[in-house]
Chains A and B, each alone.
Chain A
Amino acid sequence: MTLTGWEAVFFWVFALAAIFAGLLTVMARNAIHSALFLISSLVSVAALFILARAEFIAGVQILVYVGGVMVLFLFVIMLVNVSAEEQGREEVFNKQRQVTASLIFCLLLVVGVLYAVNNGYRGMQRRDAESLAQADQVRQAEEKRYPRGATGTSRLSNDSERLANSLFRYASLPFEIASVLLLVAIIGSVMLARTLKQEVSADDVDPETLQDEVRRDPVLAELQQSPLE
């Protein structure tokens, strides 16, 4: 799977964009800037997915992460008041000692992971030497056989088709479980984000806690007697 020509150029552009946007995500003072840098990092990684011939995953990444998760993040950042950090009154990072310790840890991780990647990849190259030699010709011949798009400028890959076949043949049970997981997550986040008033009107508060809260805020008692619809 060697990338050549313009693909190689685009690989380095998007790889550097992903890495620098990731760095700025971690280093930005303002949480909203962090979120926006994370969006650019995710989009760059989606471009890398396209270079790795995973078009469907790239689309899902942009739709779910950038369109869904990051919008959720931005909403929460705007709901929660984080002004102290961005005005420079609060330090961005933890205590100095913790930062040093974690940076040393990360440096060791860099060395270890890159060493493992290199050694492992060398072994894989040795093992797959003959099939790797033909892989690129095989792939180019395969891509020649793809049908042309309606405009005639590009070819349509069958990535989504293969992914769907494989997903429903080998992983249909996990697929169903994932849908249950999402349902649980929806219900859970709605439950967690309710206000006390909403909880009282749904009659879902511990009686002792309710007595305390009613003493503090009499409006709650009315809600309890005539629940909101």
Chain B
Amino acid sequence: MLGLLTPLAIFLLQETAVAGKTSVFSAAREGAANPDLSKFLVVGAILFIIGVAGVLTRRNIIVIFMSIELILNAANLNFVAFSQYLQATGKANAVAGQIFTVFIIVVAAAEAAIGLGIVIALYRNKETIWVDEIDLLKW
């Protein structure tokens, strides 16, 4: 856990130290007191990586599906944060990111319905939901 958190802390500090402050820590404190787009992106990235770790390490196919939902949700967070940023700077169609998010939620719902249907059919035929026992397509 410490190994995971250290590079994180380093990057959080490094990123907030850009503004030309003398002390890294005071800059970091200021950045933390006023979270902006980059903090949303960092939270999204961390959620994404947690989801990837879940997909790669878990054996239970339902938990893998939940990790995929976590990944999609991290993408949603990025879209919404960028949409808010564009709104603030007035560079482009400000709510395009939110429209994308709506479609991602639709696709995630469809994917969950189909995926869980497959899980039920699989459980009926193979009596297992462990991914390392589901190897019908292995040559």
A65, A80, A114, A190: the one contacting B11 at CB < 8 Å is A114
| Cross-chain contact A41 with B112 (CB below 8 angstroms) | no
Q: Taking the complex as formed, is B134 at the interface, i.e. its CB lies under 8 A from any CB of chain A?
A: no
| Cross-chain contact B47 with A73 (CB below 8 angstroms) | no
| Given A15-B39, A135-B88, A167-B102: A122 touches B8 (CB 8 Å cut-off) | no
Closest to B12 in A: A114
Measured in the bound complex, the distance between the Cα atoms of B132 and A159 in whole Å is: 46
Q: How far is the CB of A104 from chain B (nearest CB, A)?
A: 10
A residues 180-215 touching B (CB-CB < 8 Å): 181-182, 184-186, 188-193, 195
| Cross-chain contact A76 with B119 (CB below 8 angstroms) | yes
B residues contacting the other copy or chain, number (CB 8 A): 85
| Given A61-B76, A69-B109, A118-B15: A25 touches B54 (CB 8 Å cut-off) | yes
Question: Interface code A13-38, partner B: CB below 8 Å = 1, 0 otherwise?
Answer: 00100110011011000010011001
List A contacts of B67 (CB < 8 A).
25-26
Closest to B5 in A: A110
B residues 29-80 touching A (CB-CB < 8 Å): 32-43, 45-54, 56-60, 62-63, 65-67, 69-70, 73, 76-77, 80
**Top 10 closest A-B pairs, CB basis?**
A102-B56, A192-B117, A189-B117, A185-B110, A135-B88, A26-B54, A118-B15, A114-B11, A121-B38, A131-B89
If A34-B62, A188-B113 are given as contacts, then 5 extra A-B residue pairs at C-beta distance below 8 Å, sorted by A number, are A15-B35, A45-B76, A121-B15, A178-B103, A192-B118
A interface residue numbers (CB < 8 A to B):
1-4, 8, 11-12, 15, 18-19, 22-23, 25-26, 31, 34-35, 38, 41-42, 45, 48-49, 52-54, 56-57, 60-61, 64-65, 68-69, 72-73, 76-77, 79-80, 82, 85, 90-95, 98-99, 102-103, 105-107, 109-111, 113-115, 117-118, 121-122, 124-125, 128, 131-132, 135-136, 138-139, 159, 162-163, 166-167, 170-171, 174, 178, 181-182, 184-186, 188-193, 195
**Sampled A-B contacts (11; CB under 8 Å):** A1-B85, A2-B34, A11-B39, A42-B69, A57-B102, A76-B119, A117-B42, A131-B88, A132-B89, A178-B103, A192-B117
